[in-house]
Amino acid sequence: LPVVAVVGAPNVGKSSLVNRILGRRRAVVAEEPGTTRDRGYARAEWAGREFLLVDTGGMEPAARMGLEALVTLQARVAVEEADVIVHLTDARTGPTEADAAIARELLRSGAEVVLAVNKLDDPSDDTERYRFYALGEGEPHPVSALHGIGVGDLLDEVVSRLPETTPPVEEDLLPGIAIIGRPNVGKSTLLNRLLGQERAVVSEAAGTTTDVVESEVEVELDGGLRERFALLDTAGVGRRAHRARGVPYYSALRTGGAIRRAAVSLLVVDAVEGLVAGDLQLARQVEEAGRSLGVLLNKRDLVPASRLRELEEQAAVRLPDLKPPVLAISALTGSGVEKVLPFAAGLHRAFTAKIPTHELAEYVNRLTADNTPPRGVKIRYATQTGTAPPRFTLFATRPGDLPENYLRYLENALRERYELYGVTLKLKLKSSR
């Protein structure tokens, strides 16, 4: 389950908020293994999403602890475990130095933070809440934990920031790399080479979630680091899938399953034939599944370099929402094949990247300063709301007035800056008053 933590300076009302959220459901208090005993974990649900709610209020009695230590500890614990953090502050006293210290710590960590201002019994009183923009954590959400006001809106926001779960890349499995492509583009030749590479294959097992054989491979990255992946064979090279090799129905089924299972799909394209409709259809399947795509231009031994450049441009134009990176190889001669797995590992890194919140905010600030949004729209804040695939939310005044091409400008800039190639970058717009 995703974890939501409530953090904040002493006496801002953390436990009241937690109790208000849990209501009478407090009954289910689970102690999860590996967690510190003095924190309460409880299962909560809002808008059909279940999560574990963590009350860090239990840390407060450590009165001898200096403020700084307390803040760091709380924030660190929360950041380590939580998918979303509610930073609770007090409208009557804040923003205080303690609030600011917590905000700094959370921002530095790149955590997903929702700022809440408690003890605002009249949530329409915007002037109070506005002061909390100074914390740099985006829009302050007014609540009254005591009277239950604003808690629903706060939870809407929290739930919208939970990691996307439909359909999830299975986290307990090794990250998957699927080799996909039309018949005869060279998938089997490539797989045999990849699996034939010395020390490449660690083990081979029937796929857990698909009818595709998975081979565990180890990739050596720059700097000698090693990463393990499951290589998914949609060509049916492996024994189990072999039976169905060549039967189009099974091969399509295998490919669909493999695409969903894999974080990264490598689309093998025949450089002689170019990007044909069947290739684009497979690419679209990857896009719809919310996964990452790389293109392997195979049979480079049969075409001139100019053809490869032409196909590379075509890939960018034909797949504008993915902008997949392209690698030219020859599965037959082996040229470029040693780059295939590092290429996939790079895609996986971008797919799972988490950009620190403060860094993202700074970058978007610069972009909006360089190129002011039209029609008087103000972009107040940007935050990453998900990884695998990466998702971002922009908070803007009158977001409905922001033209599509301005969004594209931001998307392209983010893609370039953080090398987010091969995935769709969905920028969500939200209104901040």
Cα–Cα dist 299/270, whole Å:
6
Q: How far is the CB of 190 from ligand GDP (least distance, A)?
A: 7
Whether residue 300 is annotated as binding a ligand: the answer is: yes
Q: Annotate 86-105 with b (16+ C-beta within 10 A) or e (fewer).
A: bbbbbbeebbeebbbbbbbb
Determine, following the binding rule CB under 6 A, whether residue 252 of this chain makes contact with ligand GDP: no
Q: Strand 3-8 vs strand 84-90: parallel, antiparallel, or unpaired?
A: parallel
Q: How far is the CB of 351 from ligand GDP (least distance, A)?
A: 24
Beta carbon nearer to ligand GDP, 185 or 360: 185
- Tell the residue number behind the tokens 């082996």, with chain if given: 334
Beta carbon nearer to ligand GDP, 298 or 384: 298
Q: How far is the CB of 403 from ligand GDP (least distance, A)?
A: 43
Cα–Cα dist 106/142, whole Å:
20
Q: Which residue pairs from 129-132 have beta carbons closer than 8 angstroms and sit at least 24 positions apart in sequence?
A: 129/91, 131/94, 131/95, 132/89, 132/94, 132/95, 132/99
Cα–Cα dist 351/422, whole Å:
8
Q: Shortest Cβ contact with ligand GDP: which residue?
A: 186
Q: Which residue pairs from 44-47 have beta carbons closer than 8 angstroms and sit at least 24 positions apart in sequence?
A: 44/4, 46/21, 46/155, 46/156, 46/158, 46/159, 47/155, 47/156, 47/159
Cα–Cα dist 392/354, whole Å:
11
Determine, following the binding rule CB under 6 A, whether residue 11 of this chain makes contact with ligand GDP: no
- Tell the residue number behind the tokens 């990466």, with chain if given: 390
Kindly state the number of chain residues that form the binding site for ligand GDP, as judged by CB under 6 A: 16
Determine, following the binding rule CB under 6 A, whether residue 161 of this chain makes contact with ligand GDP: no
Q: How far is the CB of 367 from ligand GDP (least distance, A)?
A: 41
Site mask for ligand GDP (CB under 6 A), range 272-301, x = bound: --------------------------xx-x
Beta carbon nearer to ligand GDP, 215 or 298: 298
From 337, 94, 315, select the one nearest 193 (Cα to Cα).
337
Cα–Cα dist 25/286, whole Å:
40
Beta carbon nearer to ligand GDP, 102 or 329: 329
Q: How far is the CB of 397 from ligand GDP (least distance, A)?
A: 52
Residues in Cβ contact with 365 at an 8 Å cutoff, skipping those fewer than 6 apart: none
Q: Annotate 166-175 with b (16+ C-beta within 10 A) or e (fewer).
A: eeebeeeebb
Beta carbon nearer to ligand GDP, 188 or 210: 188
Is residue 269 within 8 Å of 296, Cβ to Cβ?
Answer: yes
Of the residues 183, 196, 304, 403, which one makes contact with ligand GDP according to CB under 6 A: 183
Reported as half-sphere exposure (CB side, CA atoms, 13 A), residue 370 has a value of: 10
Q: How far is the CB of 344 from ligand GDP (least distance, A)?
A: 17
Determine, following the binding rule CB under 6 A, whether residue 95 of this chain makes contact with ligand GDP: no
Of the residues 40, 175, 181, 325, which one makes contact with ligand GDP according to CB under 6 A: 181
Whether residue 56 is annotated as binding a ligand: the answer is: yes
Q: How far is the CB of 301 from ligand GDP (least distance, A)?
A: 5
Q: What is the DSSP string of 289-313?
A: TT-EEEEEEE-GGGS-HHHHHHHHH
Sites for ligand GDP among residues 324-383 (CB under 6 A)? 330-332
The stretch among 88-96, 109-117, 181-189, 276-284 that binds ligand GDP (CB under 6 A) is 181-189
Of the residues 89, 118, 144, 189, which one makes contact with ligand GDP according to CB under 6 A: 189
Site mask for ligand GDP (CB under 6 A), range 33-52, x = bound: --------------------
Q: Is the dihedral of CA 103, 109, 113, 118 positive or negative?
A: negative
The stretch among 184-192, 208-216, 348-356, 409-417 that binds ligand GDP (CB under 6 A) is 184-192
Determine, following the binding rule CB under 6 A, whether residue 185 of this chain makes contact with ligand GDP: yes
Whether residue 110 is annotated as binding a ligand: the answer is: no
- Report the binding-site residues: 8-15, 55-59, 118-121, 181-188, 233-237, 298-301
- Report the binding-site residues for GTP: 8-15, 55-59, 118-121, 181-188, 233-237, 298-301
Sites of contact with ligand GDP (CB under 6 A): 181, 183-189, 235, 298-299, 301-302, 330-332
